[in-house]
């Protein structure tokens, strides 16, 4: 039997409609959620991401503005911009598009963002809040995966979740979100010996390595839930994930496609975090 395909594009559409009505009710109360995006340099992929974020905001009524800096901009210029956005009452979320040029210290920049406006949840405070089970904002990609699991009624508690990849933006926060929901979690990395011994034991397998189609059918437990976070551009220009979709879909119970799986949920969660930040700002004013 073939796996159930978890359609991230369709789910993102549904969630964005729900978010749109949150925005409408905030606007009726005199608050228009606002997101500021900072981009440094002219990386074409980053420019596309920023454009997509701005469009997703305007589609549901969120105000957004983009602050562009030349690739040789100084760290102080960027910090100054963040300080002024921290003080700007019309801006509820601040996002710095990564990667930054090498002369800029990522940690300095991210930790300058007010924790209440840190909609990417990369600030050390928000990372600590996530790890201790007190998070307000969750990083967008793993948060999107959690929504995909929940909306498909996939049980998490008591199940063995294996996360392949340990990056700060996907693998680690993913593992903590699953742990928080009662999964028994294993994290695998490039140093893991005999990877398939772990992956083939997973009830829920989340893969975020950036290695095209590295997870094959023989590495997956029958009926497992397979979430493919990877987005890889092949030499022919097509996109593929870190999971070999065609072979694995014959074994898995659920599988996300690439494109059209986790990707559309990531921006959706950015919108959700921005609205949450606006709602929290509203209650802080009361
Ligand atoms: P990173 O390169 O930061 O991390 C990759 C992780 O995978 C590392 O921890 C690395 O281990 C691990 N890894 C690499 N090769 C192997 C291997 N053979 N076996 C086991 N583990 C391995 O990538 P990101 O986490 O930022 O992104 C991962 C993928 O997800 C990329 O394709 C990226 O484009 C995509 N992505 C998709 C998003 C979406 O919205 N869908 C959002 C963000 C990312 P080690 O630490 O030991 O080197």
Give residue ranges with CB within 6 A of ligand 1.
141, 164-167, 169-171, 188-192, 195, 208-211, 214, 229-232, 262-263, 266
pLDDT at 223: 98
pLDDT at 45: 87
Best residue among 56, 95, 168, 170 to mutate for probing ligand 1's pocket (most ligand atoms within 8 Å of CB) is 170
Cis amide linkage into residue 259, ω under 30° from 0:
yes
What are the residue ranges spanned by the domains of the chain?
30-116, 140-263
- DSSP, residue by residue, 198-230: HHTT-SEEEE-S--TT-B-GGGS-TT-EEEE--
Minimum CA distance residue for ligand 1 atom 22: 190
Q: How far is CA 279 from the centre of its chain?
A: 20
pLDDT at 154: 98
Best residue among 209, 239, 268 to mutate for probing ligand 1's pocket (most ligand atoms within 8 Å of CB) is 209
| Composition of the chain by helix, strand, coil, percent to 5 | 45, 15, 40
Contact criterion met (CB below 8 Å) for 191 and 140 = no
Closest approach atom of ligand 1 to CA 189? 21
Residue count of the chain: 286
Contact criterion met (CB below 8 Å) for 125 and 137 = no
pLDDT at 284: 87
Contact criterion met (CB below 8 Å) for 22 and 278 = no
Phi-psi region of 79 (alpha: psi -120 to 50; beta: other; left: phi over 0): alpha
Whole-angstrom distance, CA of residue 234 vs CA of residue 195: 24
Whole-angstrom distance, CA of residue 142 vs CA of residue 261: 12
CATH superfamily, with its number, for domain 140-263? NAD(P)-binding Rossmann-like Domain (3.40.50.720)
- Cα–ligand 1 centroid distance for 184 (angstroms): 21
Closest approach atom of ligand 1 to CA 211? 15
**Two structure tokens written together for 281:** 């700002």
- Answer whether 30-116 and 140-263 agree in fold: yes
Q: Name the residues annotated as catalytic.
A: 53, 97, 120
Whole-angstrom distance, CA of residue 232 vs CA of residue 268: 21
Contact criterion met (CB below 8 Å) for 224 and 202 = yes
Structurally, at CATH architecture level, domain 30-116 sits in 3-Layer(aba) Sandwich (3.40)
Q: Which residues contact 7 (CB under 8 A, 6 or more apart)?
A: 257, 260, 261
Sequential pLDDT tens for the chain (286 residues): 799 999 999 999 999 999 999 999 999 999 999 999 999 999 988 999 999 999 999 999 999 999 999 999 999 999 999 999 999 999 999 999 999 999 999 999 999 999 999 999 999 999 999 999 999 999 999 999 999 999 999 999 999 999 999 999 999 999 999 999 999 999 999 999 999 999 999 999 999 999 999 999 999 999 999 999 999 999 999 999 999 999 999 999 999 999 999 999 999 999 999 999 999 998 887 7
pLDDT at 285: 79
pLDDT at 1: 72
């Amino acid at each position: 039997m073939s796996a159930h395909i978890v359609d991230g594009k369709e789910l993102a559409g549904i969630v964005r409609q729900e978010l749109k009505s949150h925005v409408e009710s905030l606007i009726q109360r005199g608050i228009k959620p606002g997101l500021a995006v900072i981009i440094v340099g002219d990386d074409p992929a980053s420019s596309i991401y920023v454009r997509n974020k701005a469009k997703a905001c305007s589609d549901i009524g969120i105000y957004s503005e983009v602050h562009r800096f030349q690739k040789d901009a100084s760290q102080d210029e960027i910090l100054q911009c963040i300080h002024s956005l921290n003080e700007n009452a019309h801006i509820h979320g601040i996002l710095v598009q990564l990667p930054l040029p090498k002369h800029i210290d990522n940690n300095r920049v991210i930790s300058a963002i007010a924790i209440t406006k840190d909609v990417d949840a990369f600030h050390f405070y928000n990372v600590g809040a996530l790890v201790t089970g007190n998070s307000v904002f969750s990083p967008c990609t793993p948060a999107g995966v959690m929504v995909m699991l929940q909306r498909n009624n996939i049980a998490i508690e008591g199940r063995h979740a294996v996360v392949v990849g340990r990056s700060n933006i996907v693998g680690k926060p993913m593992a903590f979100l699953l742990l928080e929901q009662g999964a028994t979690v294993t994290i695998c990395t490039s140093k893991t010996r005999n990877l398939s011994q772990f992956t083939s034991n997973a009830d829920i397998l989340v893969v975020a390595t950036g290695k095209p189609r590295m997870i094959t059918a023989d590495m997956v437990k029958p009926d497992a839930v397979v979430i493919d976070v990877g987005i890889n551009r092949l030499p022919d220009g097509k996109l593929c994930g870190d999971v070999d979709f065609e072979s694995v879909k014959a074994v898995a119970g659920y599988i996300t496609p690439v494109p059209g799986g986790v990707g559309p949920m990531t921006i959706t969660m950015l919108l959700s975090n921005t609205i949450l930040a606006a709602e929290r700002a509203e209650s802080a004013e009361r």
